Amino acid sequence: MKQLGQIMASEIAEIPHIFDSLLSDDSQFDSVRNILTKAKIHTVLILARGTSDNAAHFLKYLIETELGLPCGLTSPSSVTIYNSTLHFEGTLVVAISQSGRSPDLVRFATAASNAGAKIITITNDADSPLALLANESLALNAGPELAVAATKSYAAQLMMCFLLVASWTQKKFDSQIIVEQAQKLVATPDLVSKAVALCERGNEIVVLGRGFAYPNARETALKVQETSKISVQGLSTADYLHGPISALTSATQVFILSPSHMPEHSISEALVKLREREARIFWIGNGGIPDTSDVVISGSTCDDEITSSIVDSISLQRFALEYAIKSGLDPDAPAGLSKVTLTH
């Protein structure tokens, strides 16, 4: 008899190997470098939906902080619903999609290309319609992902976004520590056990992050919603202070994404207000400032905040997996969801 979450667990366990494969072979970037260095790119737009949209936020932070270029997220409905005429000369569109098959993404990318944009795709299917229309395509090579909740493909997308920008800036980094830290998290059997035991299904859950942790905060909320069938907010700590915090009570369970090397001042204001209202605080990552009453899900200790955030995606996925199982649900196949969502 199949165990609950068996497929999702096996796919999370593949992540260190996928990281190693992507880090060991940069040949995919040989032709991409021509676009990045020779095309007169002045603006970057990122095209994505769902989990891939969370990876898109990560890429947006990378481009803005590492390159200083203006970078935004596309609105596919501007083309698919409103039939807008685009003017994308000097624009790079990076399309991120596990399947590469969603019709609205394909249609927007086609319109962008016709409007003068250069298109780079990041997909898990090199023969998908989205990949085939690109100027250059980057393959995640994560293998078939069978669980409905994306895990290894999301982690691979984060890594590919990092490698894309590193190739652009010629950034040097330590590949070995990234793989070793990923292996450590995968191999820790009780990584999330305490948090799973203490997090109560009946109380509100809010997930917060800032900077490079923000995409993982969004992804944590999405993964718990998908697999445990409860409403969860995933927000920037800054945005949380601009209104949603008014709903905070002592029963609220607040998860803070805190990768190693995270600037402490980035969340200090929010943390003071959370403590004042005696919210239950859970940390995901090793960069937090926990009190003795807080619960900590360990993360990685990579060389910087960026790579630590990538590897910490394993910890949040492990929590979503085991929390769903605690609730008696099968995270491999949540009711009402399918693996590929074909939006138009």
d(CA 221, CA 177): 27
Residue 1 within any structural domain of the chain = no
Q: Looking at residue 104, which CATH number applies to its domain? A: 3.40.50.10490
CB 7 within 8 A of CB 118: no
CB 248 within 8 A of CB 221: no
Which of 223, 251, 218 shows the shortest CA–CA distance to 237? 218
Q: Are residues 86 and 166 in the same domain?
A: yes
Residue 314 within any structural domain of the chain = yes
Residue 232 within any structural domain of the chain = yes
Q: Collapsing DSSP states into helix, strand and coil, what is residue 344?
A: coil
Residues contacting 323, CB < 8 A, separation 6+: 192, 196, 199, 224, 227, 228
CB 109 within 8 A of CB 133: yes
Q: Are residues 108 and 195 in the same domain?
A: no
Based on the structure, what is the number of domains in the chain?
Answer: 2
d(CA 181, CA 111): 41
Q: Are residues 222 and 168 in the same domain?
A: no
pTM: 0.96
d(CA 69, CA 146): 36
Residue 65 within any structural domain of the chain = yes
Q: Are residues 136 and 69 in the same domain?
A: yes
Q: Are residues 52 and 131 in the same domain?
A: yes
Q: Are residues 230 and 305 in the same domain?
A: yes
Q: Are residues 99 and 196 in the same domain?
A: no
Q: Are residues 139 and 202 in the same domain?
A: no
Q: Are residues 263 and 135 in the same domain?
A: no
Identify the sign of the CA torsion 20, 26, 32, 33: positive
- Domain containing residue 283: 188-326
d(CA 183, CA 178): 9
CB 341 within 8 A of CB 18: no
Residue 284 within any structural domain of the chain = yes
| 127 C-beta neighbours (distance < 10 Å), count | 10
Would you write out the chain's pLDDT as a tens digit for each of its 344 residues?
Answer: 579 999 999 999 999 999 999 999 989 998 888 888 878 899 999 999 999 999 999 999 999 999 999 999 999 999 999 999 999 999 999 999 999 999 999 999 999 999 999 999 999 999 999 999 999 999 999 999 999 999 999 999 999 999 999 999 999 999 999 999 999 999 999 999 999 999 999 999 999 999 999 999 999 999 999 999 999 999 999 999 999 999 999 999 999 999 999 998 899 999 999 999 889 999 999 999 999 999 999 999 999 999 999 999 999 999 999 999 999 999 998 776 665 667 76
Q: Are residues 167 and 219 in the same domain?
A: no
Q: Are residues 71 and 161 in the same domain?
A: yes
Q: Are residues 144 and 204 in the same domain?
A: no
Task: Determine which helix (DSSP H) or strand (DSSP E) holds 207, and give its type and residue range.
Answer: strand 205-209
CB 171 within 8 A of CB 165: yes
How many residues can be counted in the chain? 344
